[in-house]
């Protein structure tokens, strides 16, 4: 049987359903939660931009700009350029979703500028390798599958090299989890300590950030499942030969 050939068994179909449904479910949860809480105004009346600036000032952070992005749910911190990009609604509106998301992004700034948070450094160092792995891994694995049928063991080697590159992308997703969870923890602490939200708004903020965290969990699970699939295929195929 050629390397990479497998029938559409029930387990194989279930696998593909899972890697499609897990990210879709996470995105659905995020979108639904965000749509709900972007309509709930906070009592403080502070916009996301104002919340971000208040938290940075309270933590003695200077030199980081808060700018208005153009795409919804595109919020992120760019440590290279010292910029926090907030999507239009988050930047402009005084809502629970705006407070939660803006505070979360400043959580990353605190990790970078105040706490010297090691997992964030590790994630940043993995970016070039993860990008390389994401671009090359599948190509190398597929080429390895093809070469195995023609020249044997060398094809396996090429495929395993592809799996090695894929590992960098998986590691990036795994390291991202504690970075994101920690940023949310810091965000929730800051909005309480600085009296930006009351108890009820704090609970709502937690729901927004928990839903957002699901997307990172889903990405890590899918990346790990995909890598393990190729590992099992290679091991099983090598045992048959």
Residue 195's pLDDT is 97
Q: Which residues of 194-214 are buried (b: 16+ CB within 10 A; e: fewer)?
A: bebbeeebbebbebbbebbbb
- How far CA 102 is from CA of 26, 68, 96, 150, 216, in Å, comes to 20, 11, 10, 55, 18
* Helices assigned H by DSSP within the chain: 10-37, 48-58, 88-92, 96-110, 118-151, 153-193, 199-240
**Residue 86 φ/ψ, nearest 5 degrees:** -115, 135
Question: Any idea which residues carry the catalytic annotation?
Answer: 105
In this prediction the pTM is: 0.87
Per-residue confidence in pLDDT tens, the chain, 241 aa: 444 444 445 677 777 788 889 999 999 999 999 999 999 999 999 999 999 999 999 999 999 999 999 999 999 999 999 999 999 999 999 999 999 999 999 999 999 999 999 999 999 999 999 999 888 998 999 898 888 767 767 888 899 999 999 999 999 999 999 999 999 999 999 999 999 999 999 999 999 999 999 999 999 999 999 999 889 888 887 655 5
User: Structural domain boundaries of the chain?
Assistant: 10-239
**Is 159 in contact with 4 (CB distance < 8 Å)?**
no
Q: What is the pLDDT of residue 1?
A: 42
What pLDDT does 6 receive?
Answer: 44
Q: What is the pLDDT of residue 8?
A: 47
């Amino acid at each position: 049987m050629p390397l990479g050939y497998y029938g559409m068994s029930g387990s194989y179909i279930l696998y593909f359903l899972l890697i499609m449904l897990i990210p879709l479910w996470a995105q659905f949860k995020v979108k639904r939660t965000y749509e709900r809480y972007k309509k709930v105004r906070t009592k403080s009346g502070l916009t996301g931009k104002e919340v971000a600036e208040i938290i940075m000032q309270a933590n003695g952070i200077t030199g980081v700009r808060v700018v208005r992005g153009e795409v919804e749910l595109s919020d992120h911190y760019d440590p290279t350029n010292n910029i926090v990009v907030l999507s239009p609604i988050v930047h402009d509106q005084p809502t629970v979703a705006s407070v939660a998301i803006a505070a979360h992004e400043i959580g990353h700034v605190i990790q970078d500028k105040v706490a010297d948070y090691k997992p964030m450094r590790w994630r940043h160092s993995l970016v070039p390798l993860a990008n390389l792995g994401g671009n090359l891994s599948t190509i190398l694995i597929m080429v390895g599958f093809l070469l195995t049928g023609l020249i044997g063991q060398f094809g396996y080697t090429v495929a395993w090299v592809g799996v090695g590159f894929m590992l960098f992308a998986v590691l990036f997703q795994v390291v991202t989890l504690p970075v994101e969870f920690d940023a949310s923890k810091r965000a929730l602490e800051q909005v309480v300590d600085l009296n930006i939200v009351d108890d009820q708004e704090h609970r709502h903020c937690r729901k927004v950030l928990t839903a957002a965290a699901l997307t990172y969990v889903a990405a890590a699970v899918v990346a790990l499942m995909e890598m393990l699939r190729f590992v099992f295929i290679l091991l099983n195929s090598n045992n048959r030969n």
